[in-house]
Amino acid sequence: MGRRDSAGFSLIEIMVALSVVTVGVLAIGKFSLSTLAGGQVSRERLTAVHLAEQIIEEWQKSDQLPALSGYCSNAGAAWNPQSPQPQSMASCTPNFGTKVPFTITVIESALKGPPPTGGTFMTYKGSSKNPMTRYVGVNWTHHGAHQVYLTHVSRWP
């Protein structure tokens, strides 16, 4: 019996090669999509940080919460008092950066710190301008739940 010389690839070899290429293409596609989504979340985080910085800077300058009309595109954005005082919340879609709706929370409270000898925390008192801690938190739920916050110590005696 003669031996048949075969040139080319068998069907099984072609199927294995196609499977390997398919897995590789799918992995590259998934990586590309996750990179794009990560970039979007980074842009949203940058917008949230910028918004929080602007609010806390204006708050420090004037010693009052700033009007959100200068930062937000939605005309109804305003601070709504919540309990406990002095906490306020507002919804805002910034007119810069990504156009994602944010919820902003601001809280002002007395500064508390550890006493020099250890133990429980103490509150600073005894001045007409007691030191205060100001907190600005920005939350959003686009592409999952996210939060950034800034704190600032103000009115040091």
- Distance separating alpha carbons of residues 132 and 154, to the nearest angstrom: 5
Evaluate if pTM is beyond 0.85: no
| Structure tokens given for 90 | 């507002």
Positive/negative CA dihedral, 7, 12, 15, 17: negative
What's the pLDDT tens digit per position in 67-91?
Answer: 888 888 875 677 776 544 577 888 8
Q: Would you list the domain boundaries of the chain?
A: 11-154
Phi, psi of 43 (to 5 degrees): -65, -40
Taking alpha carbons only, the member of 142, 157, 154 closest to residue 45 is 142
What's the pLDDT tens digit per position in 27-54?
Answer: 998 888 877 777 888 899 999 999 999 9
